[in-house]
Structures are given as structure tokens and as C-alpha cells.
């Protein structure tokens, strides 16, 4: 699944557009969230997934 939020290479602002509205620079995909083996919200995420089925 591709993230919809992008980050500008030039000014480091976040945007949803391919071109940064602030500086006109190229926006690239932001980095994924840091992995944590503890996964503090995993229980809630799994519960929501079960409800959705």
C-alpha cells in the first residue's frame, strides 16, 4: 500500500501533491513509520480489523 503523503526534497514540507506548493520542488514518498517490536497499538489495530470483517 502506497502512502498518500509526500515530503518535499527541497523544503521538507509535507503535501499531498507531486509538486510542492510552497517552493515548487519535487515531492517524494515519506519514510515509513519506525518499527517497534513492542507495537503499543497492535491490539487496537487487530481489533479494528476483526470488526471490519
In the chain, what are the domain boundaries?
Answer: 1-30
All 3 cell numbers of residue 24? 515548487
Q: For 1-49, what is each residue's pLDDT tens digit?
A: 456 899 999 999 999 999 999 999 999 988 777 778 888 888 998 999 9
CA distance 43 to 53: 16
- The pLDDT value recorded for residue 3 is 63
- The pLDDT value recorded for residue 23 is 93
Cα dihedral sign, 15-33-1-30: positive
Instruction: Give residue 40's region: left, alpha or beta (phi > 0; psi -120 to 50).
Output: alpha
Report pTM.
Answer: 0.51
CA distance 51 to 49: 5
Amino acid at each position: 500500500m502506497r502512502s498518500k503523503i509526500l515530503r518535499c526534497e527541497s523544503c521538507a514540507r509535507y503535501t499531498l501533491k507531486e509538486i510542492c506548493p510552497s517552493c515548487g520542488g519535487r515531492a517524494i514518498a515519506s519514510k515509513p513509520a519506525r518499527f517497534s517490536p513492542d507495537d503499543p497499538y497492535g491490539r487496537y489495530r487487530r481489533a479494528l480489523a476483526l470488526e471490519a470483517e
